């Protein structure tokens, strides 16, 4: 562990009060280290006085669902401490009722829901309390003799608490165990198979205790873990970066999506440590015991899929649900039975999820779990909690309540769109329109601006030249590694060369236009087809054509001919690919003036030629409407939607109505 505390930075942290500012700073330090917390995990709190010089009677605690790495003061709702402590006098309290009581204790309307660990924070008699799920601590506790290993590592510096389900039960257990044991020398509480709490009168000491205690756990696990790593043999023939067959990953994604009943994403990790782990049968067998802490089950499910049989995994998951549902405190609804983590010797580690952030979370958590299992194995064996305890958290009434509150997913959630020419103009508008409807988008462009079209994790920008087959192949590999496959292809990359009469046509300019607008499209379609054929629902292609296909203008021979040829390619693809369920359509925009082709001066010159104002010129169509890049983008997104599930081979004008075309 690295101590990242900096007094100057801490003193500069902004918040309504100095204690809260220091809590925010310490919390961000925890969140910055994935060895301590992952993907929204961990929590923290501070107790303050509501009046100057008064007793500590207000608890600021992390709001549920917030990520410590970027947390702000507004994410720490203030609660009445006396009301919280009164709840701990009860013998029983359903967690849903506990959360209702916590909201009633909140002093600031509109603040986020308090952490489910709020009562435990209230119980600990220290102003500052920090909680993490540190990998090194979980390594010690996820062994057959975890409690003894904790005692060897820490002596009387910590209090050890046996595993109890998070929420009211854990707080009530600690209320019985901790009083009288928290003498001045105690620096932390270890929750077996769960994590670690540290506390102090000031944030710096609480943070540095966390770093020191976790470092001690690392020292205990480190030597054994290094020996365990050395014992493993790397997988022969394991794929390196970009080396796995694209079709294999896309086919696996389709299987997972079928098991889930909805499109899913896969994100792939395949470094040397993962490949070494996948080559050790004993460690792979240990993964079937369960996660390193039940908190992870929400992201990873109870166990990963070994290999690629997602249907068999789903059948086993249904059996797991049937075994434990009757023991629940309340009736529960089964979650989808698809895996969230896949371990395959040839493909590596894959995280699955409806959204990129969900797939990332599963992969990130399990990459850390691999290290925990490896080091615990070297300490005598990895031992997770019993299956029933894992099920209890996965089907916690609080998690079930979230499902009931969640609205329908956006229409393209779990699907992947690739857009060429995505850095600007119509291509950029198409990328944003698809992302706005829930798609994960891969943008390709020769311009560096492609990186900034949209924000990750649901967007991946790739600099590539569409005329270079090797670059397109590499871009598809990146897309599949990142999201698992391809559902939609929007071909927007194109060039409009300098105008020239046909008799003065420059051969090089003609060839350059054809290379980008026709040859590159043919290569892209051929390369993308195997992935589109494996789309979980159906593949879709939309070509950005031009009004020039049906109504060419003088001086644009190369452009008009290239767009006509591209349209014919799309029509042939519609004929050939219908058997694969892939639909291929074309849109023909015209007079889209918010692209890089049009400058203010050029617009003014063209408008003056017709005796019109610029605004009148922009609406020089039958409907007197302005056609923008966003107009085209939304039309393309709609064409990819279920509303056009029975449409292929269509050519749709987006021009406000053109007399020349009609």
* Residue among 567, 573, 538 nearest 645 (CA): 538
- Distance between CA atoms of residues 421 and 434, nearest Å: 14
CB 244 within 8 A of CB 275: no
Residues 6+ away with beta carbon under 8 Å from 660 = 547, 551
Phi, psi (degrees; rounded to nearest 5) at 611:
70, 35
β partners of residue 463 = 445
Displacement of CA 572 from its chain's centroid (Å): 37
3-class secondary structure, 73: helix
- Tokens found for residue 484: 């698992």
- Look up tokens 């992952």; give the residue: 38
Torsion of CA 129, 168, 353, 281, to 10 degrees: 90
- Look up tokens 């379609």; give the residue: 525
Set 313, 382, 459, 559: catalytic member: 559
Residues 6+ away with beta carbon under 8 Å from 380 = 143, 144, 145
Q: Are strands 158-161 and 341-344 parallel, antiparallel or unpaired?
A: unpaired
- Distance between CA atoms of residues 272 and 258, nearest Å: 31
- Distance between CA atoms of residues 452 and 472, nearest Å: 20
* Residue among 130, 137, 316 nearest 215 (CA): 137
Helix axis angle, 310-324 to 387-394, nearest 10°? 90
Residue-by-residue DSSP string for 259-328: HHTS--EEEEE--HHHHHHHT-HHHHHHGGG--SSGGGHHHH-SSPEESS-HHHHHHHHHHHHHHHGGGS
Task: Tell me if residue 25 is catalytic.
Answer: no
- Distance between CA atoms of residues 458 and 438, nearest Å: 9
CB 520 within 8 A of CB 565: no
Handedness of CA 426, 427, 432, 434 (dihedral sign): positive
- Tokens found for residue 116: 């489910």
Length of the chain: 662
The HSE-up count of residue 335 (CA atoms within 13 Å, CB side) is 24
List Cα–Cα distances, 166 to 88, 113, 169, 173, 268, in angstroms.
Answer: 14, 16, 7, 10, 31
Residues 6+ away with beta carbon under 8 Å from 643 = none
- Distance between CA atoms of residues 21 and 169, nearest Å: 31
Displacement of CA 125 from its chain's centroid (Å): 37
Neighbours of 305 (CB within 10 A): 27
Kindly list the catalytic residues.
Answer: 559
């Amino acid at each position: 562990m690295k101590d990242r505390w900096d007094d100057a930075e801490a003193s500069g942290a902004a918040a309504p009060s100095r204690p809260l500012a220091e809590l925010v700073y310490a919390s961000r330090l925890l969140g910055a280290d994935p060895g301590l917390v992952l993907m929204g995990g961990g929590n923290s709190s501070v107790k303050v006085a509501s009046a100057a010089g008064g007793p500590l009677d207000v608890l600021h605690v992390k709001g549920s669902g917030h990520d410590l790495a970027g947390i702000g003061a507004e994410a720490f709702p203030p609660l009445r401490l006396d009301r919280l402590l009164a709840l701990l006098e009860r013998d029983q309290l359903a967690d849903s009722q506990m959360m209702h009581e916590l909201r009633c204790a909140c002093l600031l309307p509109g603040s986020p829901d308090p952490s489910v660990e709020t009562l435990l924070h209230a119980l600990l008699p220290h102003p500052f309390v920090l909680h993490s799920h540190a990998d090194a601590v979980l390594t010690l506790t996820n062994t057959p003799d975890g409690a003894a290993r904790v005692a060897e590592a820490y002596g009387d510096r910590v209090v050890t608490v046996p595993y109890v389900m998070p929420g009211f039960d854990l707080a009530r257990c600690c209320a019985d165990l901790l009083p009288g044991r928290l003498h001045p020398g105690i620096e932390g509480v270890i929750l077996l198979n769960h994590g670690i709490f540290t506390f102090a009168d000031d944030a710096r000491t609480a943070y540095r205790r966390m770093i020191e205690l976790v470092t001690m756990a690392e020292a205990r696990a480190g030597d054994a873990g290094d020996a365990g790593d050395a014992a493993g043999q790397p997988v022969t023939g394991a794929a390196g970066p970009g080396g796995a067959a694209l079709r294999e990953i896309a086919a696996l994604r389709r299987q997972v999506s079928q098991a889930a009943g909805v499109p899913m994403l896969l994100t792939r990790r395949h470094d040397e440590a993962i490949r070494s782990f996948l080559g050790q049968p004993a460690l792979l067998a240990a993964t079937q015991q369960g996660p390193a802490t039940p908190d992870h089950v929400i992201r990873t499910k109870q166990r990963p899929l070994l290999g690629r049989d997602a249907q068999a995994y789903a059948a086993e998951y249904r059996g797991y649900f049937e075994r434990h549902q009757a023991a629940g405190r309340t009736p529960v609804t089964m979650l989808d039975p698809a895996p969230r983590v896949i371990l395959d010797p040839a493909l590596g580690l894959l995280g699955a999820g409806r959204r990129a952030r969900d797939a990332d979370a599963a992969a990130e958590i399990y990459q850390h779990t691999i290290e925990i299992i490896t080091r615990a194995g070297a300490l005598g064996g990895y031992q997770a909690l019993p299956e029933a305890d894992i099920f209890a958290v996965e089907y916690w009434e609080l998690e079930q309540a979230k499902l009931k509150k969640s609205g329908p997913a956006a229409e393209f959630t779990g699907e992947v769109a690739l857009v060429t020419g995505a850095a600007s103009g119509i291509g950029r508008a198409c990328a944003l329109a698809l992302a706005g409807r829930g798609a994960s988008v891969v943008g390709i462009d020769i311009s560096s601006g492609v990186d900034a079209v949209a924000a990750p994790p649901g967007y991946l920008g790739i600099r590539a030249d569409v005329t270079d087959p090797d670059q397109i192949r590499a871009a598809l590999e990146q897309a599949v590694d990142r999201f698992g496959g391809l559902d939609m292809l929007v071909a927007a990359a194109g060039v409009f060369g300098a105008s020239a009469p046909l008799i003065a046509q420059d051969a090089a300019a003609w060839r350059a236009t054809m290379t980008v607008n026709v040859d590159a499209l043919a290569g892209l379609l051929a390369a993308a087809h195997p992935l589109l054929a494996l789309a979980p629902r159906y593949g879709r292609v939309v070509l950005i054509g031009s009004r020039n296909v049906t109504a060419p203008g003088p001086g644009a021979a190369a452009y008009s001919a290239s767009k006509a040829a591209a349209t014919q390619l799309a029509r042939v693809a519609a004929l050939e690919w219908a058997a694969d369920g892939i639909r291929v359509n074309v849109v023909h925009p015209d007079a889209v003036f918010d692209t890089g082709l049009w400058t203010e001066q050029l617009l003014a010159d063209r408008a003056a030629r017709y005796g019109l104002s610029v605004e009148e010129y922009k609406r020089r169509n039958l409907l007197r409407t302005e056609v923008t890049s966003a107009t085209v983008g939304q039309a393309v997104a709609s064409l990819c939607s279920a509303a056009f599930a029975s449409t292929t081979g269509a050519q749709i004008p987006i021009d406000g109505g053109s007399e020349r075309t009609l």
